[in-house]
């Protein structure tokens, strides 16, 4: 079945190796072994388990159809992939699927460097996620903006999370370290992006 035929079916989530994601979004193949989430259309769980040597895992989510996506042309046709802002929030929500929070931070830094992260769209999409995801994502975006010397105005997103409970940057780790008071995030792990 061609990619064009798949476009008219319900969404499921597809975890793509970042090399494949880079091809779909940027037309390049550089990167590390980080992962990114991208929407993929099918009405059943596909039999596809790899693309070349790259493994593919599917994650089904009912809310995918309500999240922003962009259509990209790939060698086999067209595919809808999540908008950069949705990719960031998805990766922050499930950092293990992105190769860990340090790899997620690397993806965010690259999106900032390529000027592909829109704060208005990020604020709009963040309303579809938990406040904790918005807090964690904003903290990491702030950190990567500082690391890359790229200014980013997250004030509209800040207004969405004012008064939120303190959340751990990485929920599975012990609550230690400093607290980012702007985002109410307990920085309980060190992020080491590949910049």
* In a shared domain, residues 88 and 78: no
Q: What is the pLDDT of residue 135?
A: 96
pLDDT in tens, 56-100: 666 667 777 788 888 888 788 888 788 899 989 999 998 988 889
Q: What is the pLDDT of residue 60?
A: 65
64-89 as b/e: b if 16+ CB within 10 A: beebbbeebeeeeeebbbbbbbbbbb
Contact at 8 Å (CB) between 48 and 73? no
Q: What is the pLDDT of residue 55?
A: 72
pLDDT band at 49 (very low <50, low <70, confident <90, very high): low
* In a shared domain, residues 75 and 151: no
pLDDT in tens, 1-15: 333 333 333 333 333
Structural domain for 163, as ranges? 84-195
Q: How many CA atoms lie within 13 A of 132 on its CB side?
A: 10
Q: Final residue of a domain: which of 21, 53, 82? A: 82
* In a shared domain, residues 75 and 93: no
Structure letter (DSSP) for residue 154: -
Domain count, the chain: 2
Q: What is the pLDDT of residue 169?
A: 94
Torsion of CA 9, 86, 13, 169, to 10 degrees: -160
* In a shared domain, residues 57 and 125: no
Q: Which position has the higher pLDDT, 102 or 72?
A: 102
* In a shared domain, residues 94 and 42: no
* In a shared domain, residues 47 and 101: no
């Amino acid at each position: 079945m061609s990619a064009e035929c798949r476009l008219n079916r319900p969404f499921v989530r597809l975890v793509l190796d970042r090399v494949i994601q880079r091809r779909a979004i940027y037309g390049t193949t550089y990167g590390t072994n980080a992962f990114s989430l991208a929407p993929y259309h099918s009405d059943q769980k596909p039999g596809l388990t790899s693309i070349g040597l790259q493994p593919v895992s599917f994650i089904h989510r009912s809310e995918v159809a309500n999240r922003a996506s962009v259509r990209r042309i790939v060698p086999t046709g067209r595919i809808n992939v999540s908008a950069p802002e949705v990719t960031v929030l998805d990766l922050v929500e499930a950092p293990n699927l992105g190769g860990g929070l340090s790899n997620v931070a690397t993806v965010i830094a690259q999106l900032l460097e390529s000027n592909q992260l829109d704060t208005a769209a990020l604020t709009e999409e963040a309303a579809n996620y938990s406040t904790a995801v918005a807090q964690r994502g904003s903290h990491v975006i702030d950190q990567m903006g500082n690391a890359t010397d790229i200014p980013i105005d997250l004030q509209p997103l800040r207004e969405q999370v004012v008064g939120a409970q303190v959340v751990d940057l990485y929920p599975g780790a012990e609550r230690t370290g400093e607290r980012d008071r702007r985002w109410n995030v307990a920085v309980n792990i060190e992020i080491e992006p590949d910049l």
